[in-house]
Amino acid sequence: MHLHILGICGTFMGGIAAIARHAGHRVTGCDQNVYPPMSDQLRSLGVDLVEGYAADQIALSPDCWVVGNVVTRGNPLMEAILDRGERFISGPQWLRENVLVNKWVLAVAGTHGKTTTSSMLTWILERSGMAPGYLIGGIPMDFKHSARLTESTHFVIEADEYDTAFFDKRSKFVHYCPRTAILNNLEYDHADIFDDIADIKRQFHHFVRMVPRSGRIVSNGRDGNLKHVLTYGKWSPLEEFGVDAGWQCGPPDDAGSFDVAWAGHLMGRVRWTQSGEHNRLNALAAIAAARHAGVDPRAAIDALGSFTGVKRRLELRGQSKGVFVYDDFAHHPTAIAATLEGLRQSAQTGRILAVLEPRSNTMKRGVMKDQLPESLAAADRVFVHAAGLDWNPRAVFDADRACIAENLDALVEAVAIEARPGDRVLAMSNGGFGGFHEKLLARLERGS
């Protein structure tokens, strides 16, 4: 079968393309911005790419058009597809109908930590010899690609609450019908599609309704919003993490190692290179979900000892003149604070210079702008890229502590002037940040 994927360079749709190729389909696709690393990954899989959404792509005549949620009405190619009455389907629905049916789906949902927890869980199953299929919204360092299809019964998927497509406004995750469902946390986000947190809770409830009686819900027992969602109804056994009655982690030592207990009984000690309480909670969720799939917790704990992480999650991009430059996907106040806490734990000396691009729709609208100063409190200095915002960051941040720049080159220059040996520069954005990391490293190398 020939599939042509609209919006193919997004992480999720690129994963769909990889899985379709593994299944033996011919895959082509298009996107507005065809660039590495996703374009390289897709071409290495034999996927032909087209730049843009010109209507003349209709001549490709695929058996099915697979439509990503980046596509809207008015898109020239989509309008041609509709005018001709051709067959089209959303990415999540295609995945459900062609891959996930009859699979043991382990789905990881939550406002934060989905990518990391999915990667941990996939690695645990891999180390246990289960060779799971997976689709992760990032690139796990322990695997070659962000998605794969295998003969295994088990399939791990990052379960996103964002909407499915312009013609299906349900959250993506309602298509996945998991047997094991992780609920990591729940906060307000995606202001472009959700009016308030009640809207998001309703979608999480729909997700919970899809878990069978023989399944299991693994939920963050510290999260009040998740507890509220579960009062709407649940039909599956529940295990909680982060609380004494469920899965609990002890305090970390200086190396980041910590004990894991289940219902008060010590299961083992995770010895790894990750940092931050958020990652310890992610680990508990992954251990609990793997246990439901048949992995002994002690084996899961041992597997996490060799887990190397995920790209763009406190990823060290390089260092120059004694200044270390990190990249992170954090773009929500809670994630920003957790990322800073993790970096502070792993690098207890030297200053942290936090550089933020408020790029998500929620951040651009300023929905959470008043929470940002507090979320960045652990940084020694703050730099904000102010381009394209509907709010004025100079009215939000203390001028003595924060540097605001509308121009990316000016931002790079300001950070380079401030940075000194021993500093950690943490750049946070849910996009490519215009190549900020490479530009800063080059500027530091040139010197004053």
User: Is it the case that residue 361 has pLDDT exceeding 80?
Assistant: no
Rounded Cα–Cα distance for residues 160 and 129 (Å) = 27
Half-sphere exposure of 36 (CA within 13 A, CB side): 3
* Interval 322-335: pLDDT, tens: 899 989 877 788 88
How far is residue 212's CA from residue 191's CA, in Å, rounded to a whole number?
31
pLDDT above 80: residue 275: no
Provide the pLDDT for residue 434.
Answer: 82
Rounded to a whole number, what is the distance in angstroms from the first to the last CA of the chain?
A: 57
Alpha-carbon distance 257 to 261, whole Å?
13
Evaluate the omega torsion of the peptide bond into residue 421 and state whether it is cis, within 30 degrees of 0. no
Q: For residue 318, which of 212, 441, 183, 140 has the smallest C-alpha distance?
A: 441
**Spatial contact of 288 and 125, defined as CB atoms under 8 Å apart:** no
341 pLDDT exceeds 90? no
What's the chain look like in SS3? CEEEEECCCCHHHHHHHHHHHHCCCEEEEEECCCCCCHHHHHHHCCCEEEECCCHHHHHHCCCEEEECCCCCCCCHHHHHHHHHCCCEEEHHHHHHHHHHCCCEEEEEECCCCHHHHHHHHHHHHHHCCCCCEEECCCCECCCCCCEECCCCCEEEEECCCCEEECCEEEEHHHHCCCCEEEECCCCCCCCCCCCCHHHHHHHHHHHHHCCCCCCEEEEECCCHHHHHHHHCCCCCCEEEECCCCCEEECCCCCCCCEEEEECCEEEEEECCCCCCHHHHHHHHHHHHHHHHCCCCHHHHHHHHCCCCCECCCCEEEEEECCEEEEEECCCCHHHHHHHHHHHHHHCCCCCEEEEECCCCHHHHHCCCHHHHHHHCCCCCEEEEECCCCCCCHHHCCCCCCEEEECCHHHHHHHHHHHCCCCCEEEEECCCCHHHHHHHHHHHHHHCC
**What confidence score (pLDDT) does residue 97 get?**
96
pLDDT at 36: 66
Query: Of the given ranges (159-168, 188-197, 281-290), which has the lowest mean pLDDT?
Result: 188-197
Q: For residue 448, what pLDDT band results from cuts at 50, 70 and 90?
A: low
Most confident of 77-81, 352-356, 417-421: 77-81
User: 258: which 2 tokens?
Assistant: 């910590």
pLDDT at residue 192 greater than cutoff 70: yes
> Average pLDDT of 347-371?
83
User: Structural domains in the chain?
Assistant: 2-91 (3.40.50.720), 102-304 (3.40.1190.10), 315-446 (3.90.190.20)
Query: For position 13, what pLDDT does the model report?
Result: 93
pLDDT > 90 in the chain, percent: 63
pLDDT band for position 35 (cuts 50, 70, 90): low
**pLDDT of the residue at 78:** 98
- Give the gyration radius of the chain's Cα atoms: 22
Q: pTM for the whole thing?
A: 0.84
Write out pLDDT tens, residues 196-217: 999 999 999 999 999 999 999 9
pLDDT for position 27: 96
Tens-place pLDDT, residues 364-374 = 887 788 888 88
Average pLDDT over residues 240-254: 92
Which of residues 251 and 41 earns the better pLDDT score? 251
List, for residues 56-98, the tens digit of each pLDDT value. 999 999 999 999 999 999 999 999 999 999 999 999 999 999 9
- Amino acid of residue 170: R
Please give the pLDDT value at position 246.
95
Q: Starting at the edge strand that comes first in sequence, how are the strands of the sheet with 352-356 ordered?
A: 315-320, 323-328, 424-428, 352-356, 381-385, 402-405
- Given pLDDT bands bounded at 50, 70 and 90, which one contains residue 28? very high
Structure token pair of residue 83: 């005018």
pLDDT at 281 (0 to 100)? 95
Mean pLDDT of the chain: 91
Distances (CA, A) of 394 to 62, 388, 409, 436: 51, 14, 19, 21
Phi-psi region of 431 (alpha: psi -120 to 50; beta: other; left: phi over 0): beta
